[in-house]
Structure 1
Amino acid sequence: MFVQNIRNICVVGAGQMGHQIGMLCALGGYETVIVDVNEDALKKADTLLQSIMEKWVTKGKISEDAKDAAFSRLQFKTDLEDAATNADLVIEAVVEKLDVKRELFAKLDKITPSHAILVSNSSTIVNSLIADVTNRADKVCNMHFFYPPLVMDCVEVVMSDKTSDETAQTTMNVCKQIGRTGVLLRKEISGFIANRILGALQREAVHLYESGIADYKDIDVICRKALNHPIGPFELMDLSGIDVGYFVMQQRYAETGDPQDKPAACIEEKVKAGHLGRKTGKGFYDYAKEGVKN
């Protein structure tokens, strides 16, 4: 399958990643469906995307006609079978839990055309842990976008030893079509590249904080001022969603059994308290004064 054969894309999950990935696909010229079982999530996604695209028009990043054309290619549905039955490519962007992804891929394998490529936007789970529930392991890979997808340029495309070169190349071509830099990883490793490097930084930052060496705010300042990072590790956890990182750590720990991969106490406390970062108004920082960011 070549990129010209990819016409219809289905994005499963309308959360903070899925809705923006869907918009990228529509902007890239693909007929796109964003599907989510939660109708309120779809309405929120539509509202957010309308707002973002209006700002792009105002800033001159896109014309009004181009915006309208993209939205004409974008649909929102609650029925998975209806959304995916004609898909040439499905991008999974659901919660970072292996059992949920496996259940979804098993369903997708039954309802999508035999030629369809099934990819996971997982930030850590390798596709070989999912592909075995399908009858098309050669057409499964990772397509890891970074948050927020409408801003961040890079996409990690990860092959397993079952992923075909044709699948990988087609996925890389889709990255190019939607204006993103795809980087192909031919060997799987949990967490891929960016998140392994980022995870090492985050683990050390959390260790320093929990050991009482420095306050989390000071650690963020040092990373921004001394290392020239655009955002500190605790600010980044708040931006991405502390629960997202928590689920990633749980999955990594389940795979490795390494105590270093286990979620830190301060992160577990935040998740249990429902303080998940910007999306809930409070994480390590309090966002009540400036409002909840999406």
Structure 2
Amino acid sequence: MADTNLTLMEEFILLGFSEYPNIQGFLFVVFLFIYISILLGNGFIILITNVESALQTPMYYFLGNFSFVEMCYTSNILPRMLVNIWRQKRNISLLSCAAQLCFFLILGVTESFLLAVMAYDRYVAICKPLYYPIIMNQRICVQMVFGSWVIGIPVVIGQTYQIFSGPFCGSNKLNHIFCDLPPLLKLTCGDNIWDEFFLYVTCFSFGLTPFLMILMSYIRILSTVMKLPSTTGRSKAFSTCSSHVIVVCLFYGSGFIAYFHPNSSYSVSIEKIFSVFYTIVTPTQIRNGSILVYPEKVNDVN
């Protein structure tokens, strides 16, 4: 025990993509362009869904909130990444790292449940169009969005405290693009099996549960759409859901691989790439496809 290399961490060093020193300038330009694009695109969606009377519907209300989450999601990660690339100074204080992790997890949980809410909205619109105004009334929509924001906050704060209240061992180099759970767990001391167990329970509760809700909604949607007599009706229904399905696949696919990969056959570089997918590519995709996600009115599908 006396020889254990315990370190009182005051800061971490986010290595990011420092293993590619020759393309740092290129990465800065690419990530800056993506960040500005996300802010402008999602900001435009929020603006137009609030000022355009034709878009004052539950589905665009959810879309506006989802765009706001995406702006917060990327703003929690990309600005510091850009500063690190520009200044070549990659250290982050322990408190800043904890705050970044906490906000990242809260926003990730919120995004998961908003995706489930949007899938449920599509289910009601396509499978129960006559009851849509009754089921998806304003009070229910507000409650769904509010619940998506607050449902994971207590657990996320507790998990963040659990990780940062314990000691870290050895190097303070965090081989990742931001303060995320898997690389942080690698630096914790001793047997962290309970931390990992708690991580998987959290991921199951706040990741897999909304995914199963989305899956159930789309199974019902697919069953209803295949019974539609007209090809035009089926085409409208599929186009209504297509972009949302793409975002779900990108978000959950890359996130699942990043969090549940087999350590023996997995490189850190690939982990970083998948992290870019669910933190940067997904917001870009929702911006590119959002105005086309719900082009038809609810009653036009059937």
User: TM over 0.5, yes or no?
Assistant: no
Q: Which has the larger radius of gyration?
A: 2
TM-score using structure 2 length: 0.31
Q: Which has the higher helix share?
A: 2
More RCO (CA 8 Å, sep 6+): 2
Q: Which has the higher strand share?
A: 1
TM-score using structure 1 length: 0.32
